[in-house]
Structure 1
Amino acid sequence: MIGADTPITTGQYLLVYNMLSLTIAGMAAGGLFFLFARSFISPKYHLAMYLSTLVCWIAAYHYYRIFQSWQDAYVVGTGSNAGLYLPSGTLFNDAYRYADWLLTVPLLLAELILVLALPRATTNNLLFKLITAAVLMLVLGYPGEVSTDNGTRWLWGTLSSIPFVYILYVLWVELTKALDKQPERVKLLTRNMRLLLLASWGFYPIAYLIPTLGVGDAVGIVGLQVGYSLADLLAKPVFGFLLYAIAREKTLADNPKFDEERVAAISRS
């Protein structure tokens, strides 16, 4: 949360303002793409695309609320404060992010498992482990997020890292064992997807800890908002596009004539 004594420069305000606007547009566009992209993949992979659409639109809604809250939290400075944006006295509600993550992070992990179309027992086992760990990661991270004490932020950030490391273990060790019978191209895309997940999720702890690094309150606030927004763009629409690529490869592996049959069906309708 932003305190009432944290003015920021016009450039800092506009950087966050434009980053939030870009993220809203990226999420909305991603949701539309995944909704229409299902026409190019087999029906058994449609659920993963519906989840990708849902993730992006949930995020777009929450980012719109964050955008509104950011606008309400600051007013343009005048006189000796010209060139600054001053806290208006209205609290900036960054808790929208955690409301978003509690919904979207489990869905993101579910998308990945569902698009691989693994045996039911394997799918259920992986989903239970990943979703449980994701919820624990978010619940443990929230007390540090809302704290202004650096020690408290580090404590809860460290605790939330434990389920995060477990998620990586499941994705790199247990999921790898389940990919033995997948096409080589799918294995490659899954590897790239996991690397993207690691890179994008790696932004979150960095952004989380920026306010504790002694860079100043204003830089900490801006760094947090920009870092989280970049991470969400990578972890939602970009991640979803890789999942679509996996679904597309699996569709063609299952039925090499899928596109021909699709065109023929459109011609008959």
Structure 2
Amino acid sequence: MGYDTAPSAIHASQLRAVARLALDNEGLIASHPDQAVQAVEAGFKSLPHEDQVGIVQWIDRSLNPPTHPWISTESGAVLGAHDIVGSTFFIAMNMMLAFTVFFLLERNAVPAQWKRSVTVAMLVTGVAFWNYFYMRGAWVKTQQSPTVYRYTDWLITVPLQIVEFYLILQATTNVSVMLFWRLLIASIVMLVGGFCGEVGACSVLVGFVVGMLGWLYILFEVFCGEAGAIAGNANSKACASAFNTLRLIVSVGWAIYPIGYYMVYLGPTFSYHADSVVNIIYNLADFVNKGAFGLCIWAAAKSDVKKGLLA
């Protein structure tokens, strides 16, 4: 976390705020306030120091609700030296920007049939960069999972990644538009299920099952369905190679997300560390999957350039 965990971090004023807020919530502050506060302070001091720090953070958020994450100039807007989760937000954000600039510069250096695919790859990382800019600020300021920002990002970037399958196949043959809609709807079902489970709109198990069904349908379509059959008969080695690599990313790379969801919300790691664990997993998965997704398309496009197919 980004807060100082040294013993001196628990100041007397913070300790008294903890006691008074706890007693006020129970309606006990009116009678014998000094004795009651002293009793709560004694109980607080007996807790493990990590729990003390966590309680102080919660009290601070309760007494000082955050405004827009990047308007404030308070120290809470500065990344802490030991905030591993916050560091992963910064790393992912910077890498998304780097990927976006790279794809922008390379867009005009690929054959015409690949330009739309590279453009979509650029949009994926560009949208992710914009959302990570706000996610990192929300985390540093509140130390809470930026779930809404996260799913806002995914609701745009994941369907765009699914579009890549359609564009790659369309570059070599006529593809039914229904394939596009089936993949798009499945990706939205996958995301809505996960979102509802994480925010409590349904049980975490129901959200997990719905999300898994959407993901499994996508895997069926790209391996055994119409998309897989078309890719198997593609006459372009570059397109076939890109499709197979994207298929590998969707099956192996995307598996990180449901594994992380299960570990945090359904597995033994569910605790007050849940936000930290799930955000580290999601940040690293986004960095790998979004970047690798675009790079494999760029690599396939450049292989056509080497064959003299640049338009």
TM range (shorter): 0.7 to 0.9
Is residue 2:161 matched to residue 1:161? no
CA distance in 2 between partners of 1:184 and 1:49 (Å):
18
TM-score, with length taken from structure 1: 0.78
Compare CA radii of gyration and give the structure with the larger one.
Answer: 2
CA distance in 2 between partners of 1:102 and 1:200 (Å):
18
1:7 to 16, 32, 54: 54
Q: Which has the higher contact order (CA 8 A, sep 6+)?
A: 1
Match in the other structure for 2:155:
102
1:44 to 88, 107, 113: 113
Query: Is the 1:101–1:138 contact (alpha carbons within 8 Å) kept by the matching residues of 2?
Result: yes
1:178 to 230, 248, 273: 230
Match in the other structure for 1:60:
129
Deviations 1:31-62 (A, max 9, x none): 11111112221122211111111111111111
Paired amino acid for 1:178 = I
Query: Is the 2:93–2:129 contact (alpha carbons within 8 Å) kept by the matching residues of 1?
Result: yes
Is residue 2:287 matched to residue 1:236? no
Matched position secondary structure for 2:255: helix
Deviations 1:58-85 (A, max 9, x none): 11111111111111114xxxxxxxxxxx
- CA change 1:164–1:41 in 2 (3 A) is same
Is residue 2:278 matched to residue 1:224? yes
Paired amino acid for 1:126 = L
Match in the other structure for 1:246:
300
- Select between 34-43 and 188-197 the one with higher mean Cα deviation: 188-197
Matched position secondary structure for 1:7: helix
Match in the other structure for 1:30:
99
Query: Is the 2:168–2:239 contact (alpha carbons within 8 Å) kept by the matching residues of 1?
Result: no
Match in the other structure for 2:141:
72
Match in the other structure for 2:146:
93
Matched position secondary structure for 1:113: helix
Matched position secondary structure for 1:18: helix
CA distance in 2 between partners of 1:47 and 1:96 (Å):
26
- CA positional deviation for 1:130: 0.5
Is residue 2:89 matched to residue 1:20? yes
Is residue 2:243 matched to residue 1:190? yes
Query: Is the 1:157–1:205 contact (alpha carbons within 8 Å) kept by the matching residues of 2?
Result: yes
2:269 to 202, 215, 224: 215
CA distance in 2 between partners of 1:247 and 1:126 (Å):
23
Query: Is the 1:58–1:104 contact (alpha carbons within 8 Å) kept by the matching residues of 2?
Result: yes
> Can you give the 5+ residue segments of structure 2 that lack an aligned partner in the other structure?
1-50, 58-78
Q: Percent identity among equivalent residues?
A: 25
CA distance in 1 between partners of 2:304 and 2:227 (Å):
17
2:259 to 206, 213, 219: 206
CA distance in 2 between partners of 1:124 and 1:234 (Å):
29
Runs of 4+ that moved beyond 4 A: 8-13
CA distance in 2 between partners of 1:172 and 1:258 (Å):
28
Paired amino acid for 1:194 = R
Query: Is the 1:62–1:97 contact (alpha carbons within 8 Å) kept by the matching residues of 2?
Result: yes
CA distance in 2 between partners of 1:192 and 1:48 (Å):
14
CA distance in 2 between partners of 1:59 and 1:119 (Å):
30
Query: Is the 2:135–2:149 contact (alpha carbons within 8 Å) kept by the matching residues of 1?
Result: yes
CA distance in 1 between partners of 2:257 and 2:297 (Å):
21
> Can you give the 5+ residue segments of structure 1 that lack an aligned partner in the other structure?
75-90, 263-269
- CA positional deviation for 1:227: 0.7
- CA change 1:163–1:101 in 2 (3 A) is same
Matched position secondary structure for 1:214: coil
